[in-house]
Amino acid sequence: MHNLAGGDRLGSFSRVTFFDEFSRLPLAVLLRSATSASSASVRSSLASGVGSLSDFAALLSPAAGALLPELARRSQALTRQRFGRVIRLFAPLYLSNECINNCRYCGFSRDNPILRVTLSVADVVREARALGEQGFRNLLLVAGEHPRFVSNGYLAECIRALHAEVPSLSLEVGPMEAADYAPLVAAGAEGLVVYQETYDPIVYEAMHTAGPKRDFAWRMGTPERAYAAGFRRLGIGALYGLAAWRREALCVAAHAAYLLRHCWKAQVTISVPRLRPCAGEFQPLTSMSDRELVQLVCAFRLFLPDVGLVLSTREPAPLRDGLIPLGITLMSAGSHTEPGGYTGAGHDQTHLTQRGRIVPRAKGASEWAGTPDALTKATGQFEIADTRSAAEVSALIARLGYEPVWKDWDPALSSAFPAAQAESSQAAA
Ligand code: SF4
């Protein structure tokens, strides 16, 4: 039985979990507003300061879409007021593409015949140093879920090896119990990113056909367990292209609002990833236009003024550039989605797996497994759309009148945070 709320620290002051709140969300009513609010109710929500989930729902409506310039103007002003003219930069560093789950939309799915590898700690350091040479001081360590290859001990070793050189380390790995997160925080990790993927339980069940990720509630409780373990940054989001985007957005907003109330010592970020082509050739089930993505970013900003909004290289350069002044606060750049992508590290160690088993490499096993002449490079999770280098993105940010921020945290502060959080939790109990 999983402990949804995580360790005692969080459980002592948060008896109602987000899963409880989620189960009681009046989604049908909110969705009605999100799909059919009138211009008058959108204007009324804007005038009232977008203080409720009902106001947020109105901002997702087609009527609000027609008022996009007004939404964008307000979103820009609020973002500059709360964050200044800065964009934080980060890079994903893929440690492993081994995975025991089958998620139909992901290139790393267990059954996909792709080239896989788990980087050695020395190779992880090599990758991080290459990113450091590009300027990055904020890395997101990403791995598929595979307890044998990506154990807690391995993750702790990677974090310890990087901690002295990389001030800000976050994780996007398989969900764990709070007790299993604690050593990773102690080793120097400060952020945990976990997307619910879809907040629609029926779509969730259809998308996750094998592996521990099938447990919808367990995944939903992950940010709370991460907070209980001491992480100071929590990242959430939905993957747009699975369920209807307005429904997903309502649930993400409710989730973020819950975390701001109950995990209030942590910084909360929301990512807005849309599906990209990947191994397995999964096709999106729902659509979300560029204009709707812009509307969503503005709506998130107006409802959640202090939440960081994250944009990855899944989106093409012109759209990313246009979104910078509208509400985005954190961007990746120059990304690779395969282990060893920045230096070629580990490419001599790759193996082909089919339905979870290692098989001899065969010509043409999959276009995603590499060409016959290049059967060494590990397969990426998905195709990126913005292929510009970090230097190019950084220069563009500066040209737009914003400051690219490579570092906003020092590891010397990491050790003090869990203790401070524990104190505040006890005080709140
Ligand atoms: S989304 Fe995550 S858990 Fe699912 S297959 Fe991909 S790496 Fe594994």
Distance 144 CA to ligand 1 centre (A): 5
Confirm whether 3 is domain-assigned.
no
Q: Determine which residue's CA is closest to atom 1 belonging to ligand 1.
A: 106
How would residue 408 be classed by pLDDT, with cut points 50, 70 and 90? confident
b/e per residue 48-64 (b: at least 16 CB within 10 A): eebeebbbbbbbbbebb
Instruction: State which of 108, 239, 314 you would mutate to test the pocket of ligand 1, scoring each by most atoms of that ligand within 8 A of its C-beta.
Output: 108
Distance from residue 105's CA to the centre of ligand 1 (Å): 9
Are 367 and 374 in contact by the 8 Å Cβ rule? The answer is no
Domain of 184? Answer: 8-428
Is 72 within 8 Å of 328 (Cβ atoms)?
no
Range of lowest pLDDT (6-10, 183-187, 211-215): 6-10
CA dihedral 55, 59, 60, 62 (to 10 degrees): 130
Q: Is residue 1 part of a domain?
A: no
Residue 2 resides in a domain: no
The band of 416, judged by pLDDT with boundaries at 50, 70 and 90, is low
- Is 130 among the domain residues? yes
Q: 324 alpha carbon to ligand 1 midpoint, in Å?
A: 28
> pLDDT digit string (tens) for 145-155?
999 999 999 99
Q: Which run of H or of E encompasses 408?
A: none
Give the pLDDT confidence of 77-123 residue by residue, as tens digits. Answer: 999 999 999 999 999 999 999 999 999 999 999 999 999 999 999 99
Q: How far is the CA of 99 from the centre of ligand 1 (A)?
A: 6
**Phi and psi torsions of 330, nearest 5°:** -145, 130
383: CB partners within 8 A, 6+ apart: 276, 277, 278
Rounded to whole angstroms, the maximal C-alpha distance in the chain is: 63
Q: What is the pLDDT of residues 283-310, one digit of tens each?
A: 999 999 999 999 999 999 999 999 999 9
**Distances 128 to 119, 198, 296, 307, 341 between C-alpha atoms, Å:** 12, 31, 33, 27, 11
pLDDT computed for residue 355 by the predictor: 78
How many other C-beta atoms lie within 10 A of the C-beta of residue 429?
A: 11
Domain count, the chain: 1
Rounded CA-CA distance 104/281 in Å is 9
Q: What CATH number is associated with residue 239?
A: 3.20.20.70
Choose the weakest-confidence range: 57-61, 129-133, 375-379.
Answer: 375-379
What gap in Å lies between CA 312 and CA 333, rounded to an integer?
A: 7
pLDDT for position 346: 92
123-145 mean pLDDT: 98
Residue 345: inside a domain, yes or no?
Answer: yes
pTM: 0.92
